[in-house]
């Protein structure tokens, strides 16, 4: 099994930037396609971005495309989400997730087996 721990969340003003991280332990991160999801109270957990095992392919939701960048450093067993031009509607708990190679790039939360505990990102207007 792989354990995932997010960090780097916080409070930022609209238009600002924030970079959150997801560190893995238990198994090498390079074995897994990864993704970021986010969730606000009372809402479904929604897809934000995903990345294949090597980092050569990335996918984004329409709401963050052009503003967020997902990346990974397998040597450090860490994934990142660089968030620029943040908006109040980006406020959420952000979760990292890992899945098997078959589901690489999936936007569906049901396809992800391993999850972190989440990190809060709050964007003030």
pLDDT exceeds cutoff 90 at 17: yes
Q: What is the pLDDT of residues 65-84, one digit of tens each?
A: 999 999 999 999 999 999 99
How far apart, in whole angstroms, are the C-alpha atoms of residue 125 and residue 12? 9
> What pLDDT was estimated at residue 44?
96
Supply the mean pLDDT for the chain. 96
Which secondary structure element, helix H or strand E, spans residue 24, and what is its range? Answer: strand 18-25
> Which structure tokens are listed for 114?
């391993």
Comparing CA positions, the residue from 12, 73, 75, 64 lying closest to residue 36 is 64
Is residue 32 very low, low, confident or very high in pLDDT (cuts 50, 70, 90)?
very high
């Amino acid at each position: 099994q792989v354990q995932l721990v997010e960090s780097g969340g916080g409070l930022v003003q609209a238009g600002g930037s924030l970079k959150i991280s997801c560190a893995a332990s238990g198994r090498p991160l390079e074995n897994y396609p990864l993704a970021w999801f986010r969730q606000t109270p009372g809402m479904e957990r929604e897809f934000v971005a995903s990345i294949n095992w090597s980092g050569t392919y990335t996918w984004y939701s329409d709401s963050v495309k052009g503003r967020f960048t997902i990346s990974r450093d397998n040597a450090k067993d860490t994934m990142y989400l660089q968030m620029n031009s943040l908006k109040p509607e980006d406020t959420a708990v952000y979760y990292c997730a890992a899945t098997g190679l078959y589901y690489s790039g999936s936007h569906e939360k049901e396809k992800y087996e391993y999850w972190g505990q989440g990190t809060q990102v709050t964007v003030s207007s």
